[in-house]
């Protein structure tokens, strides 16, 4: 090294730099703007700008990317039946985009670079225009790079044409997100180098001895054996945690909670949206029952619960009726219990509710490893009465599958677990919403029976932090082809230890929750670890659509293009 002249060194670096194209030259830069308070915009014409924005979420300043300078972006209020026109100008020095999550529209308006359009180049404006054909609670976010992590997201509220089947006196958007001062590329690189980097809830030697004390050495050893042989951790709940994240509710950190004011006797509608990059939230309002009236924007038969898990990108509308003039905490724990987002539902902004303690994290179970052993089996339910099986099987279209370096686990006996609230919420003494509780308000009795079925294995290697569908990452995969007019049944088998929120663009996912006549209509479906879940899709929109896991750091590879012809 000491013999190497500086000039030669630089030549070498330049040569490698050219090939690696790590040198980025930007003609212009649009600067950094100040953060503004989040507001609501309504009408049919909208002007949005995407800017680098100076924020202070954690106590130290950082640069976010925002819509109209707001973290979160402005809430867009549309009316069902309207034509909306949205001009989006990109003032970042990299390409950007806005995707309207869960909105049914022509594919060219869907906002996914490389699939719907070319993206919005720096300094350019793209005009989205489409007819609003639905109502309810939705959201929007960037589909470029990791911009969703750094703030490009906001809520969409669509007022229905017809009267809603429920009433309320007041409403709030309650949008949950996760913010980090670390650059997303830094987070991702760390995960690639050490996938447990952010996990501070790993098994310790003490945990093992506690189990020995509880069950005896042999039992404890047997319980660990499978996990140890498979080199998997039952504490692997979230890839990115409160170690780096501050969890936000409507842009507010827990230190200065979001305030939702109400007057005594009012019914309050809360529009929960999980706009996080990587975080599942378990939401409850201690002291209040939540009446769930809509899931992913679609009305459901009302169901009263204490707690709801929101997978990334899911939305739920609930109505609460606070009886006393007091303050209630809107408490949204991260699934791994490494932190929470907080709101204060109160009659007086100076009165704050008592904040509950975080729950103890629960470990994953053998069921989460796809080894069966679910409650249903325990109860010795005869398999032939499985209400989740199709009455009359349909042909299965085989798709390419690759087991290899990128796949560590194979669910040997994946079960339908619609009534399983999921890890962390099991037997917690509260009434927790499960998918089995969801029944669409509209009848689906006359919906077309599926023509065929495809099975998608959600696959990965946590140790190497590789993710894929059917063992094949997006860039090596052929598109999934649907025929216009057909009805396809899609079954996920989750061959990983993670929950994956799967989002199919452009087409509704009618989830089989056990009642054939009331399939619930969703845009994002959680596939629980080691489980199986099925839904049906009426292929009623031509074009090219994105289809992916909505965990931001899984998305690039756990992704497919869907082509409808």
Partner 1 sequence: MKNLFLQLLLFATLMSSTFAGSGGDILRATFTADSLEYQANFDERAIYWDTYGYIGYDINKLYFYSEGEKPHRESANSENQLLYSRAIAPFWDVQIGVGLDRANEKYKSWAVIALAGLAPYFFETRAALLVGGNGNIGLRIDLEYEALLTQKLILTPKVSSEAYTKNEPRMGYGAGLSNLTIGARLRYEIKREFAPYVGIEWSKNFGNTRKYSPFNELYLVGGVRFWF
Comparing CA positions, the residue from 254, 242, 250, 269 lying closest to residue 352 is 254
Interatomic CA distance for residues 284 and 300, integer angstroms: 19
Nearest-approach distance from CB 59 to partner 1, in angstroms: 18
Write down the least CB distance from residue 23 to partner 1, Å: 13
Of 228 and 255, nearer to partner 1 (C-beta) is 228
Give me the least distance between CB of 137 and partner 1, in Å please: 30
Question: Least Å distance between CB 544 and partner 1?
Answer: 17
**473/477 Cα distance (integer angstroms):** 6
Mapped onto helix, strand or coil, the DSSP state of residue 223 is helix
> Which of residues 4 and 25 has its CB atom nearest to partner 1 in the complex?
4
* CB-nearer residue toward partner 1: 1 or 23: 1
- DSSP per residue, 396-439: BPP-----STT-----SS-EE-TT---TTTTT-SS-B--GGG--
In angstroms, what is the minimal distance from the CB of 525 to partner 1?
Answer: 21
Beta carbon of residue 49, minimum distance to partner 1 (angstroms, whole number): 29
Please, which residue, 300 or 466, has the CB nearer to partner 1?
Answer: 466
| Rounded least distance, CB 116 to partner 1, Å | 18
DSSP sequence for 127-147: EEEEE----EEEEEE--STTT
Tell me whether residue 288 or residue 498 sits nearer to partner 1 (CB atom): 498
Rounded to whole angstroms, what are the CA distances from 452 to 224, 387, 485, 538?
A: 41, 19, 12, 11
Smallest gap, in angstroms, from Cβ of residue 554 to partner 1? 8
What minimum distance in Å lies between the beta carbon of 144 and partner 1?
14
Closer Cβ to partner 1, 100 or 559, answer by number: 559
55 or 480: whose CB is closer to partner 1? 480
Which residues 6+ apart lie within 8 Å of 238 measured at CB?
198, 199, 278, 279, 280, 334, 335, 336, 338
Within 10 Å of residue 35's Cβ, how many Cβ atoms? Answer: 18
Tell me which residue of 555, 551, 564, 559 sits closest to 456, measured CA to CA: 559
Q: Which of 511, 280, 309, 515 is nearest to 420 (CA)?
A: 309
Nearer to partner 1, 201 or 333 (CB): 201
Kindly give the pairing relationship between strand 32-34 and strand 45-55. Answer: parallel
Query: Which helix (H) or strand (E) segment is 80 a member of?
Result: none
Of the pair 249, 466, the CB lying nearest partner 1 is at: 466
The minimum distance between CB 227 and partner 1, in angstroms, equals: 9
d(CA 172, CA 195): 37
Q: How many CA atoms lie within 13 A of 491 on its CB side?
A: 23
Quick one: 173 or 369, whose CB is closer to partner 1? 369
Joined tokens for residue 475: 């860039």
| Distance from C-alpha of 301 to C-alpha of 296, rounded to nearest angstrom | 13
Kindly tell me which of 14 and 381 has the beta carbon lying closer to partner 1: 14
In angstroms, how far is CA 181 from the centroid of its own chain? 21
CA angle 407, 408, 413 (to 5 degrees): 100
Find the shortest distance in angstroms from Cβ 62 to partner 1. 19
User: Which spans of this chain sit near partner 1 (rule: CB under 8 A)?
Assistant: 1-5, 8-9, 12-13, 15-16, 19-20, 188-190, 192-194, 197, 200-206, 228-231, 404-408, 461, 463-464, 466-467, 473-475, 553-557, 559
How is the chain split among helix, strand and coil, in percent rounded to 5?
A: 15, 35, 50
Q: In whole angstroms, how close is the CB of 330 to partner 1 at the nearest point?
A: 29
Closer of 243 and 352 to partner 1 (Cβ): 243
Query: Does an H or E element contain 189, and which?
Result: helix 184-193
CA distance 510 to 499: 19
């Amino acid at each position: 090294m000491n013999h190497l002249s500086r000039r030669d060194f630089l030549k070498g670096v330049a040569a490698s730099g050219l090939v690696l194209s790590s040198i980025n030259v930007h003609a212009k830069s649009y600067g950094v703007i100040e953060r503004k308070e989040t507001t609501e915009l309504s009408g049919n014409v909208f002007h949005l700008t995407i800017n680098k924005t100076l924020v202070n979420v954690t106590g130290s300043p950082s640069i976010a990317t925002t819509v109209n300078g707001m973290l979160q972006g402005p809430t867009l209020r549309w009316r069902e039946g309207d034509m909306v026109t949205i001009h989006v100008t990109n003032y970042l020095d990299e390409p950007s985009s806005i995707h309207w999550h869960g909105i049914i529209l022509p594919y060219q308006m869907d906002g996914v670079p490389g699939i719907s359009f070319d993206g919005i180049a720096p300094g350019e404006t793209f005009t989205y225009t489409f007819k609003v054909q639905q109502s309810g609670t939705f959201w929007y976010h960037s589909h470029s790079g990791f911009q969703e992590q750094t703030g490009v997201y906001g809520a969409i509220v669509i007022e229905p044409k017809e009267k809603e089947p429920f009433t309320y006196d007041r409403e709030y958007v309650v949008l949950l997100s996760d913010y980090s001062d670390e650059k997303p590329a830094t987070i991702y690189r760390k995960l690639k180098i050490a996938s447990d980097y952010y996990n501070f809830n790993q098994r310790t030697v003490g945990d093992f001895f506690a189990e020995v004390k509880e069950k005896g050495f042999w039992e404890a050893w047997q319980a660990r054996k499978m996990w140890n042989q498979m080199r998997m951790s039952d504490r692997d709940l979230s890839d990115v945690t409160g170690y780096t994240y501050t969890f936000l509710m409507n842009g507010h950190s827990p230190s200065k909670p979001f305030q939702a004011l109400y007057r005594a006797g009012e019914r309050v509608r809360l529009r929960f949206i999980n706009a996080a990059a990587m975080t599942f939230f378990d939401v409850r309002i201690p002291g209040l029952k939540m009446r769930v009236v809509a899931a992913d924007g679609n009305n459901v038969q009302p169901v009263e619960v204490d707690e709801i898990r929101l997978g990334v990108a899911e939305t739920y509308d609930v109505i609460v009726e606070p009886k006393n003039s007091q303050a209630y905490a809107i408490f949204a724990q991260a699934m791994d219990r490494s932190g929470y987002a907080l709101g204060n539902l109160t009659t007086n902004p100076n009165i704050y509710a008592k904040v509950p303690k975080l729950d103890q994290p629960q470990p994953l179970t053998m069921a989460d490893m796809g080894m069966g052993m679910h409650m249903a089996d325990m109860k010795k339910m005869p398999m032939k009465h499985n209400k989740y099986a199709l009455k009359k099987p349909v042909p299965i279209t085989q798709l390419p599958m690759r087991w290899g370096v990128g796949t560590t686990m194979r669910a040997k006996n994946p079960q339908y677990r619609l009534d399983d609230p999921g890890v962390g919420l099991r037997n917690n003494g509260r009434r927790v919403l499960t998918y089995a509780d969801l029944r669409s308000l509209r009848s689906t009795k006359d919906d077309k029976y599926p023509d065929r079925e495809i099975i998608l294995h959600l696959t990965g290697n946590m140790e190497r932090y590789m993710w894929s569908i059917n063992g094949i990452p997006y860039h090596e995969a052929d598109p999934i082809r649907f025929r216009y007019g057909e009805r396809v049944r899609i079954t996920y088998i989750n061959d990983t230890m993670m929950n994956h929120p799967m989002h199919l663009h452009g087409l509704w996912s009618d989830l089989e929750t056990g009642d054939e006549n009331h399939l619930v209509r969703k845009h994002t479906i959680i596939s629980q670890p080691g489980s199986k879940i099925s839904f049906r899709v009426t292929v009623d929109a031509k074009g090219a659509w994105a289809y992916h896991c909505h965990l931001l750091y899984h998305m690039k590879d756990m992704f497919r293009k869907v082509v409808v012809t």
